[in-house]
Amino acid sequence: MNIILLGPPGAGKGTQARFLCDERDMIQLSTGDMLREAKDSGTEMGKIVADVMARGELVTDEIVIGLIREKLKGDKKGGFIFDGFPRTLAQADALAELLAEEGETLDAVIEMQVDDNALVARITARSTCANCGEVYNDNTKPIPADGKCSNCGGTEFKRRADDNEESLKQRLMEYYKKTSPLIGYYYAKGQLSSIDGLGEMSAVKADISKVLDA
């Protein structure tokens, strides 16, 4: 089963993708994570995208489609969760072609709906374990008092460089201009399911399960 988690930055796509990896043996394909990895390891491509990401703009379709193409050739396990991809109509078309080339289908597109005020609050409060990527939130899921990650025991936590208000404004603008048209696109294709992304993590998780098990 291959699915897209669609929603603005801070909607909870990454958190829910991690649940699905654990429980359904799926593979999370986050283009944001791939790009951050490239940036941190100082590859040529990483250098090219660093400024664009810091500004909160989208990197070129060509780059992200190339990243996804490579991953689709690898182990497919319980299927792919596309997290933060596609973000443009061109990427959506490319994904359809890439899946077809691999003899795969797109089984669900889950739109996670969250209002903008909640997004700003979530994003400016979030951090992740530097070791395993577990997501924390200063208000709703603080780092444990003993300073150890509840998932792996790691003691280093990081905040994303682009999780600041200025960059977030631009990321939201990019979402509404370039990514939100995908909601209509997948609706028209009969593939869209929309869920409330504002509830408790466990409630959102249950709603996603309902869609996948339907």
Among 5, 50, 58, 99, binds ligand AMP (CB under 6 A): 58
Q: Which residues contact 90 (CB under 8 A, 6 or more apart)?
A: 61
Q: Which of 171, 177, 205, 210 is catalytic?
A: 171
53 binds ligand AMP (CB under 6 A): yes
User: How far is it between the farthest Cα atoms of the chain?
Assistant: 49
The verdict on whether 126 is a catalytic residue reads: yes
120 binds ligand AMP (CB under 6 A): no
* DSSP at 85: -
The verdict on whether 160 is a catalytic residue reads: yes
Q: Which of 18, 36, 39, 126 is catalytic?
A: 126
Minimum distance from residue 160 beta carbon to ligand AMP (Å): 7
Minimum distance from residue 147 beta carbon to ligand AMP (Å): 25
52 binds ligand AMP (CB under 6 A): yes
Name the phi and psi angles at 115, rounded to 5. -80, 160
The verdict on whether 87 is a catalytic residue reads: yes
* DSSP at 59: P
**d(C-alpha 159, C-alpha 130), whole Å:** 9
The answer to whether 214 and 107 are in contact (CB under 8 A) is no
List, in sequence order, every beta strand (DSSP E) within the chain.
3-6, 27-30, 80-83, 108-113, 126-129, 135-137, 157-158, 192-196
Q: Compute CA distances 191 → 18, 49, 61, 176, whole Å.
A: 22, 31, 22, 20
Nearer to ligand AMP, 158 or 210 (CB): 158
Nearer to ligand AMP, 15 or 31 (CB): 31
85 binds ligand AMP (CB under 6 A): yes
32 binds ligand AMP (CB under 6 A): yes
The verdict on whether 55 is a catalytic residue reads: no
**d(C-alpha 94, C-alpha 68), whole Å:** 10
Minimum distance from residue 154 beta carbon to ligand AMP (Å): 20
35 binds ligand AMP (CB under 6 A): yes
The pair of structure tokens assigned to 212 is 């996948």
The residues of the shown chain that bind ligand AMP, judged by CB under 6 A, are: 9, 31-32, 35, 52-53, 56-59, 64, 84-85, 87, 91, 162, 171
Active site residues: 13, 87, 126, 160, 171
